[in-house]
């Protein structure tokens, strides 16, 4: 990723994540301190998702503007992440059938992101 693309990505990502943190804290604060109708609870709960959409846009723009090698590395990393996340959650689903604690779906996306990062490191090393 060239320096200009990387600088824009970090700016877009940083602003989006900063807004996410502010909205998450705000929504949790409102939900824990006020009795609201279910429709309002749903809307307030989902407000932090909005900046995550901008995180996705920042990632997609950075990938689009990257060179072909970086795109190849990221494709391999995302593929690795999707397959391993699927395998882990599929396997754990069977373990839940014999009494293992339920794995909330909230943990799946962070798992995918962590595996994407691991995969990017592994596949980038292949091209050094």
What pTM was computed for the model?
A: 0.79
Only one residue has tokens 């301190």, namely: 33
The pLDDT of residue 104 is 93
On the question of pLDDT at 1 being above 80, the answer is no
What phi, psi does 37 have (nearest 5°)?
-60, 155
**Alpha-carbon span 112 to 83, nearest angstrom:** 9
pLDDT single digits (tens) 46-105: 999 999 999 999 999 999 999 999 999 999 999 999 999 999 999 999 999 999 999 999
Please provide the distance, in angstroms rounded to a whole number, between the alpha carbons at the two ends of the chain.
Answer: 15
């Amino acid at each position: 990723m060239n320096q200009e693309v990387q600088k824009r990505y970090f700016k877009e990502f940083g602003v989006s994540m900063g807004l996410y943190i502010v909205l998450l804290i705000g929504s949790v604060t409102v939900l824990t301190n006020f009795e609201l109708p279910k429709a309002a609870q749903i809307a307030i709960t989902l407000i932090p998702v909005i900046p995550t959409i901008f995180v996705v846009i920042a990632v997609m723009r950075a990938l689009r503007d990257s060179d072909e090698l970086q795109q190849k590395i990221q494709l391999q990393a995302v593929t690795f992440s999707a397959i391993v996340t699927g395998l882990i959650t599929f396997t754990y689903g069977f373990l839940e059938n014999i009494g293992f604690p339920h794995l909330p779906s909230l943990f799946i996306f962070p798992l995918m992101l962590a595996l994407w990062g691991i995969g990017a490191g592994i596949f980038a090393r292949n091209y050094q």
